[in-house]
Amino acid sequence: MNFAVKQVNQQRNRMLNICDAELVGKTVRQSDLEIKITESYYGDRIVDEKEAESLLRTSSIINMAGKRTIDLSIKIGLGSAKGVKEIGGIPFLIVFKF
C-alpha cells in the first residue's frame, strides 16, 4: 500500500498533504466543484504504510484524500468518519491537532 505525501513546515506546525498514491494526477468533479489532486500538492514522494502512519502521528495539520489514507488515519485515532466529505466518489478529510 503506497501513499503520496508532501510535508510543509511552518513555524512550529508540520502540515502533511497525503493521499492514496494512485490518485495523484486525477481530477475529481461533482456538480460545479472540481478538485485536482496534483503532484505539486500531494506527491513530493511515495511512502509505505509504516512511514505514512508515522507522518500522520507527527503532523499538526493534515489534508487527506482517498479511502486507504483516511481508513489508516481513523484506525490510529486521528479524525473521525463523521468529518469525511466525499467529492466525486473520493473521500476527503482535514485534521487539525493543536
Domains of the chain: 2-96 (3.30.1860.10)
* pLDDT digits 0-9 by tens, 1-36: 899 999 999 888 999 999 999 999 999 999 999 999
56 neighbors 76 (Cβ within 8 angstroms): yes
pLDDT confidence of 98, banded at 50, 70, 90? confident
Query: Mean pLDDT for the chain?
Result: 95
Q: State how far the alpha carbon of 71 is from the alpha carbons of 15, 32, 33, 46, 68, in Å.
A: 19, 27, 24, 18, 5
**pTM recorded for the entire structure:** 0.93
Q: Which pLDDT does position 1 carry in this prediction?
A: 83
Q: Which pLDDT does position 18 carry in this prediction?
A: 98
